[in-house]
A and B are shown apart, each in its own frame.
Chain A
Amino acid sequence: MHHGKYRFIAGFLAGPLALYTVFVIWPFLQAVYYSFTDWTGLSPDFAFTGLRNYERLLDDEVFWKSFQHSVLLVVLVPLVTIALALFFAFMLNVGGRRRRGAAVTGVRGSAFYKIVYFFPQVLSIAIVALLFQFAYNPGNGAINAGLRAVGLDSVQPDWLGDPDYALWSVMAVLVWCTVGFFVVLFSAGMSSIPLDFYEAALLDGASRVTTFFRITLPLLWDTVQSGWIYMGILALGAEAFAVVQIMTVGANGGGPDYSTTVLPLYVYVKAFRDGQAAYATTIGVALLVVTLAFAAVVMRLGRRERLEY
């Protein structure tokens, strides 16, 4: 009966595995390979330079600044986004006042809020960044105009032009545009939690806060953990690159005075402006290490007993 089982399985696996090797594994290896050369990206010839690029990395002030900012982003942005999203999702699904006929319900108008929260998600990140660039305009932008409207004429920060605010302004945009996705994700997770649990808790007289921490969060933990990793990778990679590159000060973004530069932006600048593709791959390898380390830490910290229900 089991005769040839492994051959059968291998036959099915060979194709996907080959594709995976060619399009994922091989490019990764190549990137690492090129980080040991002096390839410019503008000519086919290059020479081996051993660990030179890595040595250079250690002394590169801009790299370390980018590194710090990326690490800050990967710690703070998921924390804030997920906390907010959990709060919103809880309010939308469980947090409402009790109404007739329903044990658990969201706040009034929750269907509408859900759409509002999700809306930024359908906009391209480039559009979001452009919109916020206008909103942050110190003279006629919406934010400073809002401050003026409520009588705060003296508080008119130059959001993106001031090194003290620039990185925070960027983080706010990242949170704004991703929180909606997690609201929907967590809402989906919450709706699969059996209602009986909530009813039992309510009968026992549990408050909303207790319900959240004792029922919702533990049963949602898997989703939160995946979301955490996903968000962290967004904050390390493509999304952070787009907002920083489009919004912030400097020839390629990253300013003022390198206050918002991040690793993917530095990869881009080195590869496409300075003609140092090999060095860019070196930074890319560093980014890979940070990303893997982040994922490993979150997996480790988040390890819990799985609850079956």
Chain B
Amino acid sequence: MRSTSDHSRRDVIKRAAALGLVAVPAMSTLAACASSATGGDKVEKGEKSAANPLGVNGSAPLDVVIFDGGFGDQYAKDAQAVYRKKFPGAEVKHAATQKIQSVLQPRFNGGTPPDLIDNSGAEQMDLGVLVGKDQLTDLTPLLDAPSYDDPDKKVRDTLRPGVAEMGQFDGDPVHVLYYAYNVHGVWYSKTALDRLDAEYPQTWDDMLALCAKAKKKGIAGWTYAGKNPYYLSFSLFPFMAKIGGRQVLDAIDNLEPDAWRDPAVRSALEAYYELQRKGYVLNGTPGLSHIESQTAWTEGKALFIPNGSWVENESKATTPDDFELRVAAPSGLDGSDKMPAGTLWAAGGEPFIVPAKAKNPDGGMELLRTMLGEQSSKNFTRQVSSLTSYDGGTEGLSLPPGLTSAVDALDKAGDNIVNPRIKDWYVALWKEKVGGGLGEMMAGRITPAEAVKKIQAYTDEAANDDSVKHYQHQ
């Protein structure tokens, strides 16, 4: 009584079962790419001149891959138009993708990477690995070249503080140039604070008092991206630095054995834990994605959210017109803080790299130089309401409220800008382990003391793990 259809059904199941084993073959088709390495031949260098300080070969093609995320790729196309005007003979190949690693991994393995990459987004390639495997061009010639607008100034001198250093992984060479410039901190709505008759709190006692006041009105004090609890560090890390000085964060970056046991770290964690204990964190926050938490915040369910300057663009759709978005540096703990008010985490974003095996590395660097000129930088800020690493370029632009407050916060911070490197040096440690520990604490499942112990154990583990490259603050 067996019918033919019976057979084919079973076949389907068998085939599907075979498909279920994808994990291994998928890895190995990827592996297959590794065996086909061929050397990349560089294009001939062009004539160096005042107008062409990097000696770009004006007739050589240029191959650019841009991450097409929150910032889009129009700004890069505009900069390429400027480049092409200068080198009419150059053919510029532009590609935009969200899948940086999937698109570029085979090209790196095959030895034919593009000339300039915006290595950003969820599929960002690990910069530490790329540097460690000598896959990136040293960008020092670019930094030492005259700037696009002023031949008497080096590109290096037109950058915002800390940007060039961020591109250093090991010693002097600069392998990465961050194009966007993000201000991290505590984000809030001025309108919401006005309704409570409050100013942004300067000390932690004020913060707790304000949260208590908000709670009476049924508004939570804080929310955060509970699914990505590493967002907490955007306000927590500068808070630690403000309490105990820069070296607190340096110790964390250097994976020191007592980094997390520092009293400043402990105080900062206890301060945040108090928010949780007193019920000032929006209910259910540990289960929210970053978008959900931002939406709860723009809907006025919570006053404060730790985030970065991309949040203004990202939460645009749900932000009311009269929201008056603001960013502030973390409140201090008390009068004995080591760093002054305004201490802020600001750092480069959108890491641009020129692969070591690129055919036209000079062209890649020249395009970056163009992008770091005032015209292109202004264009970027106008298009995506975010700052670039070019210091300045906001004059004459009408900036949205959040970005305006970010510029003010930078002014106020002056030299007191911190830049924890754990974020780029040890991505897994920062995002998953430190973030996970902080998340557990803010969900009320572990105490600050337990969080310290847990995160320090993870830190020690990372310090002893020889499969990741270790870096030190210079």
Q: Which A residues have a C-beta under 8 Å from some C-beta of B? A: 24, 27-28, 30-31, 33-34, 38-46, 56, 133, 136-139, 144, 156, 158-163, 185, 188, 192, 194, 222, 226-227, 229-230, 233-234, 236-238, 241, 248-252, 254-258, 263-264, 267, 269, 271-277, 279-281, 284-285, 287-288, 291, 295, 309
Contacts and interface: CB of A to CB of B under 8 A. Distances in A.
A250 B432 contact: yes
Interface in B298-332: 301
B29 interface: yes
Interface of B: 1, 3, 5-6, 9-10, 13-14, 16-25, 27-32, 34, 36-37, 101, 105, 108-111, 123, 125-126, 128-130, 132-135, 226-230, 282-289, 292, 296, 301, 427-428, 431-432, 435-436, 439-440, 443, 445, 467-468
Nearest to B125: A42
Interface hub of A28, A162, A188, A275 (most chain B Cβ within 10 A): A275
A256 B126 contact: no
Contacts of B22: 237-238
B23 A27 contact: no
A276 to B, nearest CB: 6
A185 B34 contact: no
Contact of A138 (B23, B37, B101, B283): B283
Contacts, number: 220
Contacts of A41: 30, 34, 105, 109
Contacts of A27: 24-25, 28-29, 31-32
A30 B35 CA distance: 10
B213 to A, nearest CB: 22
B35 to A, nearest CB: 8
Most buried by B among A24, A255, A285, A295: A255
8 contacts: A27-B24, A41-B105, A42-B105, A45-B133, A46-B34, A226-B10, A249-B228, A251-B432
A210 B307 CA distance: 61
Contact of A133 (B27, B289, B467): B289
A55 to B, nearest CB: 11
A31 B27 contact: yes
A185 B20 contact: no
A236 to B, nearest CB: 7
Contact of B25 (A28, A264, A279): A28
Given A139-B296, A249-B439, A194 B1 contact: yes
B431 A251 contact: yes
Contacts of A31: 24-25, 27-28, 31
Given A160-B287, A274-B428, A237 B23 contact: yes
Q: Nearest 8 CB-CB pairs, A to B?
A: A138-B284, A161-B287, A233-B20, A161-B286, A275-B129, A44-B37, A251-B431, A31-B28
Given A42-B135, A139-B288, A158-B287, A284 B27 contact: yes
Given A42-B135, A156-B284, A161-B443, A267 B25 contact: no
Given A27-B25, A271-B30, A281-B27, A44 B1 contact: no
B286 A238 contact: no
A43, A160, A263 — most chain B CB neighbours (10 Å): A43
A162 B287 contact: yes
B1 A264 contact: no
Nearest to B227: A249
A40 B423 CA distance: 20
Nearest to A38: B467
A251 B119 CA distance: 18
Contacts of A229: 13, 17
A267 B23 contact: yes
Contacts of A236: 20
A280 B26 CA distance: 11
B23 A160 contact: no
Given A227-B13, A237-B20, A138 B288 contact: yes
A240 B342 CA distance: 45
A31 B13 CA distance: 25
A250 B20 contact: no
Nearest to B427: A273
A251 B230 contact: yes
B27 A271 contact: yes
Contacts of A269: 428
A104 B19 CA distance: 37
Contacts of A30: 28, 31-32
A44 B355 CA distance: 13
Nearest to A282: B27
A138 B284 CA distance: 5
B129 A137 contact: no
B432 A24 contact: no
Contact of A287 (B23, B134, B467): B23
Nearest to A49: B467
Contacts of B467: 38, 56, 276, 279
A192 B3 contact: yes
Contacts of B292: 137, 139
A261 to B, nearest CB: 9
Given A42-B105, A257-B436, A257-B440, A159 B287 contact: yes
Contact of B126 (A222, A230, A255, A275): A275
A188 B6 CA distance: 9
